[in-house]
Amino acid sequence: MEVTKREILVSTTILSIMVGIGIWISNPIVGALTENALEVVSAVRVDDAEKFGYIKRTNVGTFLAEGELIANDTIRLADFPGIYSRVVKVKEEYCMHVEIYTVTDSKGKVTTQTRTYHSWDEKGRENFESKSFTFLGWRFSAKEIGYGVSTVESKTVYDKKLWGSDVRYIYHTTPITVKGMMKGSVENKTWKNLKFKRDYTIKQAVEKAERNTEVVPVVFWIVWLMLTAGLICVFYAFENRWLY
């Protein structure tokens, strides 16, 4: 395949335009990542109740706090042992299903057949959640800290019957105490923009912020240049008689 000077010129133009657009798109992305990384790296770091109370009194700005989140209004169920911060009780029944389907033989004859199978089908669920938590000596609502309590452990309990059971309950539970990290800020001696993340540490938050500033721009440019190369290849795939 012969490549003409005009095709080279057009492909160079495509490359220049795509690089320009890439710079225009990537600049705000890199800027936002850098700003977030600086905020996380420079945040005040707290790991005990005394320091947590101190930052509330002194308006320190952005902070990262690591500790235990403890449910205040714990969950107890009469039919399931233990105390939890969340329980999702799912009822399932072992049901028979009849499936009707068609079969076509080698002569084109269509026959209708049935297949019977059993499965555990959900018949209902109940959700019980703690609404109030204590973190490093301070009381917060689950909504205030943006904490959606998620399942840590699941257990299946079958109805007791002499010859087996066709009903079972699955209990998805979360303990009353979980470890994690809270990010937020203090302005005018008021908590702002609080967010708790379970099983997360200050070290992980800092490493992730620093890594994003390095990795995301590289990945963006790899993908963008691959897209650019694809456009140029598509351009060369046509005869481009209009250039002659």
Supply the range of the domain harboring residue 28: 5-243
pTM summary value: 0.67
pLDDT of residue 169: 92
Query: Distance between CA 223 and CA 129 in Å, rounded?
Result: 43
pLDDT exceeds 60 at position 243 = no
What's the rounded mean pLDDT across residues 126-135? 92
Query: Distance between CA 35 and CA 184 in Å, rounded?
Result: 15
Q: How many domains does the chain have?
A: 1
By C-alpha distance, which of 182, 173, 152, 145 is closest to 68? 182
Q: Per-residue pLDDT tens for 166-196?
A: 889 999 998 999 999 999 998 888 899 899 9
pLDDT of residue 5: 63
By C-alpha distance, which of 65, 64, 89 is closest to 76? 89
pLDDT of residue 104: 85
